[in-house]
Chain A
Amino acid sequence: DSGVTQTPKHLITATGQRVTLRCSPRSGDLSVYWYQQSLDQGLQFLIQYYNGEERAKGNILERFSAQQFPDLHSELNLSSLELGDSALYFCASSVTRGSEQFFGPGTRLTVL
């Protein structure tokens, strides 16, 4: 158990819908990261927050957004969902931005 929690574990929804994935980092970690794992793209970095501020962005679609709240939990919002958004979404956290990242169990999103 890494100490990072993610909810929900599974999510099934339809195209065009909007969903919110939630992540609670390890106690004391200020940095939160979101990654997407799809069959054809592997593990891809989406976005990073540090103490409430966005600090780095990867190949995140404009339909996706995230935020980190004052209690340091983070939410990833996915809207206008398409079939190709079906993937595993992982949250990770670290003490600082330059240290090892610890991953949560992931949320499996299925878009039908």
Chain B
Amino acid sequence: DQQVKQNSPSLSVQEGRISILNCDYTNSMFDYFLWYKKYPAEGPTFLISISSIKDKNEDGRFTVFLNKSAKHLSLHIVPSQPGDSAVYFCAVLERAGGTSYGKLTFGQGTILTVHP
């Protein structure tokens, strides 16, 4: 039972254009969401996060949008650069208390390729 889903295994984008990566979750109690980028043979790198009290958070070229009613979040990268080519994971940080507090649950990842 996957609680966090990234339905697109891969995305290909031209340099300078917008990259949009999508993520769906199942539990309406989730309230903190994160995006990580991962290069081969390296650990995930934290990119940006958003709390459920917001619907948008920006950090430079990266913007995360949260649609709570649809249980959907997306990461926008504008403009995309070849160095952005990596695997992108969305994740939910459980903060509702109990024995799972602090646990990150990841989606399966989307491979982004940005072509020069």
Contacts and interface: CB of A to CB of B under 8 A. Distances in A.
B106 A42 contact: yes
Contact of A45 (B49, B89, B105): B105
A94 B95 CA distance: 14
Interface in B21-75: 32, 34, 36, 41-46, 49
Interface in A35-70: 35, 42-43, 45, 48, 50, 55-58
Interface residues of A, number: 28
Given A42-B109, A101-B46, A102-B46, A33 B100 contact: no
A27 B44 CA distance: 19
A1 to B, nearest CB: 10
B17 interface: no
Contacts of A103: 36, 43-46
B20 interface: no
Interface of B: 32, 34, 36, 41-46, 49, 89, 93, 95, 99-109
B102 A56 contact: yes
A56 B46 contact: no
A30 to B, nearest CB: 11
B102 A98 contact: yes
Interface string A90-107: 101010011011111110
Classify the secondary structure of B's interface with A. loop
A24 interface: no
Contacts of B49: 100
A77 interface: no
Nearest to B44: A103
Given A43-B104, A100-B46, 11 more contacts: A6-B43, A31-B102, A35-B104, A50-B102, A98-B32, A101-B104, A103-B36, A103-B46, A105-B42, A106-B42, A106-B43
A78 interface: no
Contacts of A76: none
Nearest to B107: A42
Given A42-B108, A43-B89, A98 B101 contact: yes
Contact of B106 (A31, A43, A102, A106): A43
